[in-house]
């Protein structure tokens, strides 16, 4: 029986080595971009809609928020790539139930982040094109509330489900160690119920993805 040539094995081995590194790079890029965007927005945008004047009357603050919102699409692209390479990493061990929730929550998270960024960007653009700020304070308050509700309530809930399913899949398949999976469960619970306490807890999502990505990057490669 003929033995397979070394050249025939090379593409398969190369693909298996590139996949975890691609996941790590995409996850790190997502974590850095989203984390930076969240920090800049939290520092620049008042938490109370009635304090909009601090943002709308300051061109530097508006520029900072516009820059932060511009990072969100690139973070979303990196996140989609992260999802794809993680699924490829799991391969034939993928469970249909967990895979469906994993993929669905990730796509919903990206969609809600995009919608929230689009609404906030529209409000900032309107304020910058009007000498007196937004023409209607009610418009600003509505947009502010919708944006923060999308980000803090719906998007982060989907982020919690994504972290929960990722930790479960990683634990069941052996891709992630027990301590990393347990930290994912804890982060998911905080994202589900702790956001009303402090909006800064949204950083748990990019931080956990960053830790997972670094672990994948540094873990020994196995065929």
Q: What is the pLDDT of residues 177-222, one digit of tens each?
A: 899 999 999 999 999 998 777 778 889 999 999 999 898 888 755 4
**Using one digit for the tens of pLDDT, what is the confidence trace for 24-36?**
889 999 999 999 9
Could you give the CA distance from residue 119 to residue 129 in angstroms, rounded to a whole number? 16
Mean pLDDT, rounded, for 95-99:
74
| pLDDT band at 16; cut points 50, 70, 90 | very low
Could you give the CA distance from residue 127 to residue 71 in angstroms, rounded to a whole number? 20
Assess whether pLDDT exceeds 80 at residue 153: yes
Could you give the CA distance from residue 110 to residue 30 in angstroms, rounded to a whole number? 11
At residue 120's C-alpha, the angle toward residues 101 and 144, to 5°, is 95
Could you give the CA distance from residue 164 to residue 179 in angstroms, rounded to a whole number? 14
Question: Can you give the pTM of this predicted structure?
Answer: 0.80
């Amino acid at each position: 029986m003929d033995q397979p040539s070394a050249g025939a094995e090379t593409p398969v081995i190369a693909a298996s080595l590139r996949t975890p590194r691609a996941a790590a790079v995409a996850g790190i890029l997502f974590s850095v971009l989203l984390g930076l965007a969240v920090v800049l927005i939290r520092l620049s945008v008042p938490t109370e809609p009635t304090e909009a004047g601090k943002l709308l009357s300051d061109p530097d603050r508006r520029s900072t928020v516009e820059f932060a919102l511009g990072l969100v699409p690139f973070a979303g692209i990196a996140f989609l790539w992260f999802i794809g390479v993680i699924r490829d990493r799991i391969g034939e061990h993928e469970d249909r139930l967990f895979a469906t929730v994993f993929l669905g929550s990730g796509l919903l998270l990206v969609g809600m982040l995009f919608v929230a960024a689009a609404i906030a960007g529209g409000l900032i653009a309107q304020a910058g094109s009007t000498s007196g700020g937004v023409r209607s304070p009610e418009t600003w308050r509505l947009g502010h509330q919708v944006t923060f509700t999308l980000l803090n309530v719906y998007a982060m809930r989907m982020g919690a489900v994504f972290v929960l399913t990722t930790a479960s899949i990683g634990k069941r398949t052996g891709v992630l160690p027990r301590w990393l999976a347990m930290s994912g469960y804890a982060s998911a619970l905080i994202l589900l119920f702790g956001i009303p306490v402090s909006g800064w807890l949204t950083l748990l999502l990019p931080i956990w993805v960053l830790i997972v990505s670094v672990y994948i990057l540094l873990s020994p490669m196995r065929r």
